[in-house]
Structure 1
């Protein structure tokens, strides 16, 4: 079997998928310990890649998501020729994602056939969705020989956070942490008798409202934990600010609201300070899993078997209704019972369990 030394991975465009891609990076390093892994991906993912020790270099794709940009992709590919890559692995199934590796003259270009990419790929793989039922499996397989046993074992993502990065966000946001919550190396963090009391809530889900647990339920969970002395932190993007504001209003402003105030890097570093995360099926759920947090993951329209949090501490809550998973952005039946039927008490029991 040929040993590839320098590999270009064309990465995905979603936060959760990029986290799961780390399982591929770990697999490549386990198979070829001396390989160099560079990742071509949207610029907003670079801070995640910086926290993955398997990645040597992250290369920003100079195009917004959804833009074809044929000439820009050809130009990018030609600019990569001097890097001397031995193999390219394409995680997206799109035709456009295969253009840069082709014009970079990378000798082995591996990916799923996707949008009729026969001419652009020379190591095409056929995806067996019944055998590879999870997204992470589909990523990992592309780093293995064609005749490797299926389904593959998938190492869990593990984002690395330094205490300097933690301290930087503590200082920037002027945080006062609970007595037991600490940056690594502070003695209190190792005391088994003291519980870290920071609860992170992630009420957003970019895909749509059919993946979002009701804000009033999040608020009820927050109120209970605040009454018990916990700090509650709210995470999300600008799109989640209204939901976060409502949760904070319902808790008399006692939550710390980070929605729309942080970069992706800062959100990751802040979340590393929490010990428990309640979250919809979202990119931040996968970030929390890769940070090895205790997670209560709430699933509505999506399938926990397809994109589960890759973490042994995670507890998935799904009602498994006959109408779910529907994979719709909005409930086609107009009631979202798959989410409203999950009570705050059930989530609180999972937090305390």
Structure 2
């Protein structure tokens, strides 16, 4: 292999998991600074690839009824062959993903053989055998798992840490978005991400409204971000705060990233959009269920997590125990940091 041979990176299909994969991409880029890195992920997450430093381009692997189509995989394999990839890093333990890299003629195929893909994978991280027996819930965070694959099991030095994910929106693109949307760049904006308000991960919508109304009264713009699952919450917020802007019908994830990148602060719950907000370096206050932030939350240092009190019984999964006062305090702390 040469120092310019391209690398294929097979990421996860979900937005939040794919964003977390950027930590591994940064590790690979540091180890092989002259080798281009291309990524494969779902059509939903693929547009994020162009916002990731060190990524040359993204391949979208379409799905049919939630199952990858063999015809689609065959077409992608033929395209991958043309690129002459010499190394593939597979974050997912899917046998189909490993088979795709094998059929594309990629010599070095790195990953965990969780589905016993011996032969399809031919290089494993240190400690792969212990990982093989980690059935059921993961013994390590997804963040640590993808970094371990990228580093082949080598741990970072005692004085360093694995890098946090980063997404970067071009400033020119961001300015053009503001102009199209007639956004006043001088007005602070609070972005709200409610997720599905019927889901246990969400926070009571009346509390979102109360916190948003406080900021509106102090001159902040209120933006509601997300997609179809967030529209019910957006309708309730706009009924109470007509000035709020509902972005949940945004046609592209590129626009969604502009909405978040242009906001001053982000208030959200457990979900992929929250990972994107953290990676965009927006100050985030994230509401999570008990004991969920460490395993499922973003690892970026500027994120503040608000969890239910430790006295909450372990069988209570929702976030109703989190008061408006605690959320306001977290946002006030973030705001003070912005203006300091």
TM over 0.5: same fold? yes
Contact 1:248 1:257 in 2 (8 A): yes
Q: Which runs of 5+ in 1 are unaligned?
A: 182-196, 327-332
Shift of 1:132: 6.3
- The equivalent position to 1:200 in structure 2, one of 191, 208, 217, is 191
* Other-structure match for 1:219: 209
How many Å separate the matches in 1 of 2:117 and 2:138? 22
The within-5 A match list for 1:176-187 is 176-177=184-185, 179=186, 181=187
Quickly say closer, same or farther: Cα 1:133–1:146, change in 2 above 3 A.
closer
CA contact (8 A) 2:193 2:268 kept: yes
Give the aligned partner of residue 210 of structure 1. 200
CA contact (8 A) 2:15 2:44 kept: no
Could you tell me how far 1:295 is from its partner in structure 2?
A: 0.8
User: Following the alignment from structure 1 to structure 2, what is the Cα–Cα distance between the partners of residues 202 and 159?
Assistant: 18
Q: How far is the alpha carbon of 1:6 from its aligned partner?
A: 1.7
The answer for the alignment partner of 2:284 in structure 1 is 295
Deviation at 1:310, TM superposition (A): 2.4
RMSD between aligned residues: 2.6
Q: Which runs of 5+ in 2 are unaligned?
A: 334-340
- Aligned partner of 1:311 among 300, 306, 323: 300
- Within 1, Cα distance between the matches of 2:62 and 2:173? 27
3-state SS of 1:142 partner:
helix
Q: Is contact 2:191-2:267 (8 Å) kept?
A: yes
For residue 38 of structure 2, what is the aligned residue in structure 1? 38
Q: What secondary structure, in the 3-state scheme, does the structure 2 residue paired with 1:171 have? A: helix
What aligned pairs does 1:168-179 form with structure 2 within 5 A after superposition?
168-177=176-185, 179=186
Q: CA deviation at 1:8?
A: 0.3
Task: Give 1:141's match in structure 2, choosing from 144, 148, 165.
Answer: 148
Number of corresponding residues: 324
Cα contact 1:93–1:113 (8 A) shared by 2:
yes
113-122 or 339-348, which deviates more: 113-122
Confirm whether residue 119 of structure 1 aligns to residue 126 of structure 2: no
- In structure 2, the partner of 1:15 is 15
Q: TM-score, normalised by structure 1?
A: 0.84
Displacement of 1:175:
2.2
Question: Is the 8 Å Cα contact of residues 38 and 59 (structure 1) preserved in structure 2?
Answer: yes
1:54 Cα offset (Å): 0.7
Distance 2:64 2:215 in 1: 40
SS of corresponding position for 2:206: helix
Which is further off, 34-43 or 128-137?
128-137
Match of 1:329 in 2: none
